[in-house]
Amino acid sequence: MKKLTQSVLAILVVASSITACKKGEDDPFLSLRSRDARLIGEWKLTAVSGKTTATGSETVTNTTGTLTTTENLSVDENYNGTVLETKVTYSIAESPGSTESESTSSKTNLTLELTINDDGTAVVTTTSTPVSVTTVRVPANPRPSFITSGYAGFNSALGYSWTNSTFDETYNYTSSTSKDNYTGYWNWENTNKNKTRVVIDGLGTFNVRQLKNKELILEVVEMSSSNFTTTGESENSTSDDNTTWTFEAK
């Protein structure tokens, strides 16, 4: 009986050490490999799904009255392993005054490969070819005071090459293939036994939701807000980012 009891205890100790490898929300229940060993290797991006929103407002009061400017931004991203689809919606308004809005949808052929090395380095290789961009703007009438004659629109934030030929939003779009190799470093942000957040130069900081031998799921879940008030002026802003990246082992 004593030997049987010792054998059972030994099994329980081994089992507890194996299940301790489960750190992410969707990690495998049992794994004989550490999180470092499972993360190190070559990965290919297969899916992205995410939404980012941001709002901000500013109110200024002086001898001429009170003016409030409000901005809203929404970015939706979806990637199926081949094509990245992005939709950006932006609006800005003055009160009293008028509102202007713009919505830009784009498609880009994309491949992204990630190499995690055991020496702490990381290599991100990205190849992208923009396919199409559609921009729809609802211009303000009359123009708000924040618009100048050289106003080129919000879409420059997408990183494409644009020419604003007229204010009624006729754009010339140019497409070219680009390839980028970025070498940086990676590390666990929380260095205790949990190891649930990883920092990868060239990509960002992520929660490691799932880390299997053949599949890696990273997610960004961030919320922030700020407020500022001084004599005659106040500002506030909020942002919310929720994006999931899925990789498979090469």
What are the extents of the domains in the chain? 2-249
Report pLDDT for 104: 80
Report pLDDT for 136: 74
pLDDT cut 90: percent of the chain above it: 48
Q: Over the stretch 162-203, which tens digit does the pLDDT of each residue have?
A: 444 333 444 545 567 889 999 999 999 976 667 899 999 999
pTM, to two decimals? 0.74
Q: Over the stretch 54-65, which tens digit does the pLDDT of each residue have?
A: 999 999 998 888
Query: Which amino acid appears at position 69 of this protein?
Result: T
Question: Which tokens belong to 99?
Answer: 């509102």
CB 119 within 8 A of CB 101: no
Higher pLDDT, 137 or 78: 78
Query: Which amino acid appears at position 147 of this protein?
Result: I
3-state secondary structure the chain: CHHHHHHHHHHHHHHHHHHCCCCCCCCCCCCCCCHHHHHCEEEEEEEEEEEEEEEEEEEEEECCEEEEEEEEEEEEEEECCCEEEEEEEEEEEEECCCEEEEEEEEEEEEEEEEEECCCCEEEEEEEEEEEEEEEEEECCCCCCCCCCCCCCCHHHHHCCEEEEEECCCEEEEECCCEEEEEEEEEEECCCCCCCCEEEECCCEEEEEEEECCCEEEEEEEEEEEEEEEECCEEEEEEEEEEEEEEEEEC
CB 17 within 8 A of CB 9: no
CB 104 within 8 A of CB 155: yes
134 phi and psi, to 5 degrees? -125, 125
Distance CA 246, CA 112 (A): 11
Residue 33 clears pLDDT 80, i.e. is over it? no
Report pLDDT for 112: 96
